[in-house]
């Protein structure tokens, strides 16, 4: 139904939190979990995804935590979403990655190309909206 997953919402919320509460020191998963009353494990996994995708830098150990790697103006929402939702796309057959199974309508499917255009436009919306816009 074209809905963002909770993970995406959490990614936006966490990123926004980090953008605002921008004390020089790293921000811990625990702090974010407490702030939003979310489970620590869950928000951790989201932050780990952001880290893997170089949206945040992570620091282990006692004074560790996460810090945004770029200015909020340079972080498009699409990066946040793709980080936690690798196969985000309106229909399976548009997957630019690991598209395993072949669509059974392939032959007589002319809705693919137009939907690809739609997908591009949606991507554009999420690219042009930056983290700084949701602060």
Partner DNA sequence: TTAATAACCGACTAATTTAGTCTTATTTCT
Partner DNA sequence: AGAAATAAGACTAAATTAGTCGGTTATTAA
Which residues contribute to the site for DNA (CB under 7 A)?
A: 1, 3, 5-7, 26, 28-30, 39, 41-42, 44-45, 47-48, 51-52, 58-66
- Smallest distance from DNA to CB 124, Å: 22
Hey, which residues between 83 and 102 contact a second copy (CB under 8 A)? 85, 87-92
The dihedral sign for the CA sequence 16, 20, 26, 30: negative
Applying CB under 8 A, the span of 26-34, 51-59, 67-75, 107-115 interacting with a second copy comes to 107-115
How far, in Å, CA of 60 to CA of 83, rounded?
20
Tokens coding 91? 């229909």
Least distance to a second copy, CB of residue 59, Å: 26
Distance of closest approach, residue 8 Cβ to a second copy, in angstroms: 8
CA distance 16 to 34: 15
Task: Give the contacts of 39 (CB within 8 A, at least 6 positions apart).
Answer: 33
């Amino acid at each position: 139904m074209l809905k963002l997953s909770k993970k995406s919402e959490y990614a936006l919320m966490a990123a926004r939190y980090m953008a605002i509460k921008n004390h020089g020191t790293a921000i811990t998963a625990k702090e974010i979990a407490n702030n939003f009353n979310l489970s620590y494990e869950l928000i951790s996994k989201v932050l780990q995804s952001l880290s893997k995708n170089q949206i945040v830098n992570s620091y282990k150990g006692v004074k560790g935590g996460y810090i945004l790697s770029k200015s909020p103006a340079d972080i498009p929402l699409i990066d946040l979403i793709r980080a936690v939702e690798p196969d985000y796309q309106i229909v399976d057959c548009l997957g630019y990655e690991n598209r395993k199974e072949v669509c059974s309508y392939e032959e007589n499917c002319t809705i693919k190309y137009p939907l690809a255009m739609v997908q591009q436009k949606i991507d554009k919306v999420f690219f042009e909206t930056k983290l700084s816009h949701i602060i």
